[in-house]
Amino acid sequence: MPNYLRFGVTIVLFLFTCRALPAADDLEKQLLKQAPQVMEQLRLRGYKNVGVLKFRVKKGNEASSDQVGSLNLRLTKKLELALVVANNARDPMGLIGDASKVAAEIPGASHLSKEGREKLFSREYPLAWGDEEVVPDAFLTGVALISSDLRTMTVGILGFDQTSDSLFPLAKFEAKPDLEDLLDSGESFTVRGVFDNGSLSMTQEERKDKATEEALTTSLTVKQETEGQSSSFASKKHPLNSTDAPIVLEIRYDNQIQDIEFRDGAAFVPEPQEGQDVMLIVRRKANDKRLGLVLKVNGENTLGRETVADAQAKTWVLEPDRKEWGFQGYYDSANNTMERFKVLSQAESKAKEIDYGEFVGSISVSIFPEQKVKPKVSTELLTDEGEDFQILTQGDFPKEKPSNLGALKQQLAQNVTRGLISNGETEGQSLDSTKFVKDSIPIMTATVKYYSPQDLPE
């Protein structure tokens, strides 16, 4: 193990701050509108318990897939949260907690075929509250179609039960992708203009809209530069190879540096072999400011294995007096453990390619500046509607399940306004904690694909 990994690694859990209600958070707003209507349709069909399965995403002319960055999982969680908000605490409909995770354990289960759908109803699933397990009456899933210019996302919510020959529609709407949607769909971009002196007079809504526009522009530039290049291409625009990027990402297998290739509008590294030791190294470029790092593998944060949006994720802090950091697995500061990256065998990897597999074959990195000026507080966030909006933009299901739906709603409302700083120790390494309030807008984000799953047919 390189010596620099034995020193303290600074971490911070993101401190949430109230922020203005940005127009760019269109997906969350639309889900809040659609969820009550979806719940009403489910009740009219007589369903008592339902679950939400992993979404599929289609970008431009690409085939639809359940492996588009971490957007598939985030769309699923957003719909789950919207249904919780819309659910009646006095007469609740049972909602499964993370149905996709349970479905991943059922061989052959998939909503893409009648046989696969039947297997989804072959076992009981735990509800999101209490201790009860039930066989669902129905499942919901969906598909998101992102236009080639990245400016429109059409979302369809679908359902099926044990008697369904095919999926039936429950809702359809259009939303404008925002910064988090672009990030979680695996786009790579840099954002600079929102951090100049002029940004101090901008509202958080204006900053986010401007950042989204910059991200759209740079994402399309990156895609256009490498699109059609079927062989390795020396990209000058991709954040992982751009002079504008604040960091360098190095990927090693058995301590051997892997070349990052740029082709077909994306970045790739060779697939690791079973048993190889995987290490990710992040190096700062010339910069005297503190930076926040969110590093994900397979859509899961290396700090805590969470799948929330990067702006709400736990963050590694890159202090200016240190230039290099190494990561060998998923770190859990609460339990003082590290689970090393494991390269699966071919058989194990193929098994994870089923529709509900968690391994998406990607490594993503986002860099955030430290927040120096606190955004203006929006009075809209102090209303009930504003609280519901915050649950969808910032909320996550608690690790300890509450006893009932009312308690779950209360916990979700509390968790969007509280911050936590934690520390831990892993394999003799000291994980120091420090106060660091990160800006909600990243300086850069980039994704590398290391594994191409064999997607299931439509």
3-state class (DSSP) for residue 211: helix
Task: Supply the angle between the helices 26-44 and 384-394 in degrees, to the nearest 10.
Answer: 100
pLDDT tens by residue, 356-402: 544 457 899 999 988 876 655 555 544 556 667 777 777 777 778 88
> In whole angstroms, what is the distance from residue 33 CA to residue 173 CA?
10
Q: Token match 């944060």: residue?
A: 301
Q: H-type helices in 252-345, by residue range?
A: none
Chain CA centroid to CA 349, Å = 21
Instruction: Answer whether 247's CB lies under 8 Å from 285's CB.
Output: yes
Q: Averaged over 230-238, what is the pLDDT? A: 70
CATH 3.40.50.10610 fits 26-181+381-408, yes or no: yes
Q: Please tell me the predicted confidence (pLDDT) of residue 9.
A: 39
- What are the beta bridge partners of residue 439? none
Listed residue (210, 254, 456, 253) closest to 355, CA to CA: 456
Q: What percent of the chain has pLDDT over 70?
A: 76
Length of the chain as a residue count: 458
Instruction: Answer whether 360's CB lies under 8 Å from 386's CB.
Output: no
Q: Averaged over 3-13, what is the pLDDT? A: 35
Q: Where are the domains of the chain?
A: 3-19+189-374+416-449, 26-181+381-408
> In whole angstroms, what is the distance from residue 104 CA to residue 73 CA?
13
One-character DSSP codes across 370-424: BP-SPPPPPGGGGSHHHHHHHHHHH----SSPPSSHHHHHHHHHHHTT------E
Instruction: Answer whether 11's CB lies under 8 Å from 316's CB.
Output: yes
Is residue 12 over pLDDT 70? no
Tokens linked to 430: 């000291």
Report DSSP state, residue 55. Answer: P
One-character DSSP codes across 120-173: HTSS-EEBSSSS-EE--SEEEEEEEEE-TTS--EEEEEEEEETT-SS-EEEEEE
Whole-model pTM: value is: 0.76
> In whole angstroms, what is the distance from residue 197 CA to residue 373 CA?
11
CB contact set of 27 (below 8 Å; sequence gap of 6+): 75, 78, 153, 155, 175, 177, 178, 181
Q: Please tell me the predicted confidence (pLDDT) of residue 78.
A: 92
> In whole angstroms, what is the distance from residue 207 CA to residue 195 CA?
9
pLDDT tens by residue, 189-210: 888 766 665 555 666 777 778 8
When comparing pLDDT for 415 and 176, which is higher? 176
Looking at mean pLDDT, say which of 41-45, 323-327, 387-391 comes out highest. Answer: 41-45
Instruction: Answer whether 123's CB lies under 8 Å from 135's CB.
Output: yes
Q: Averaged over 279-303, what is the pLDDT? A: 88
